[in-house]
Amino acid sequence: MDTPTFSYVNTDLFGLEPMLTMFVTRNQTDRNAELERFRDTFKQNSPPYFCLAAVCGIAMANGMRAIFAVKDDAQIAYDTRYADSFRNSYSAFWRVFGAEEIDQQAYQMSIPLQLNPLADVKHRARAVARRRNWLEIIRSTRRAMLEDRTSHTPAAIEEVSSAFFPLEGRGQHDERNT
């Protein structure tokens, strides 16, 4: 099972005006019982789409209008023996969402994701159900990111700090208490 992951990078990495963005790639993992359970629960869906929706929610919470994604042959584990598989898992996947090649290593994808019009989709009912799932993931991830930021008020930080450094020993590190 391949799932999108990301790092925060500066867009000057791609020869663009400097600003913070997300560079997305994918983890290669084994197929297992969790994948079968996912497929039983979410018919006609695949985990990478859900993970990409979560990445988009994070990007939106950070005010990003685009994210960047690795090209198939620029992926660190690329092997020419598996070129077709890499192309499908990376470049073709990103292009489904309107990604545009920006250099020899990456694509740029607009946020929110570009989706084909429903009129152009074969199984519309399935597409609507998938898109509802993706939208819920995007919204809930964005909401969680924004709520997390607001929970880091001085009082919340003090609460966390006091768990590590009790008031009576504040300012004095005692290794016996770590």
Q: What is the pLDDT of residues 120-174, one digit of tens each?
A: 888 888 888 889 999 999 999 999 999 887 776 555 445 544 444 444 444 444 4
pTM of the prediction? Answer: 0.77
State the Cα–Cα distance between residues 101 and 87, nearest whole angstrom: 13
3-state secondary structure 64-111: CCEEEEECHHHCCCCCHHHHHHHHHHCHHHHHHCCCEECCCCEEEEEC
What are the boundaries of each domain within the chain? 2-168
How many residues appear in the chain? 178
* Highest-pLDDT range among 30-34, 43-47, 76-80: 76-80
pLDDT tens-digit readout, 61-81: 999 999 999 999 999 889 999
Q: Tell which residue, 49, 74, 58, has the closest CA to residue 129.
A: 49
Residue 97 has a pLDDT of 93
pLDDT tens-digit readout, 121-130: 888 888 888 8
Q: DSSP string of 29-62?
A: ----HHHHHHHHHSTT--HHHHHHHHHHHHHHHT
Q: Which residue has the higher pLDDT, 2 or 88?
A: 88
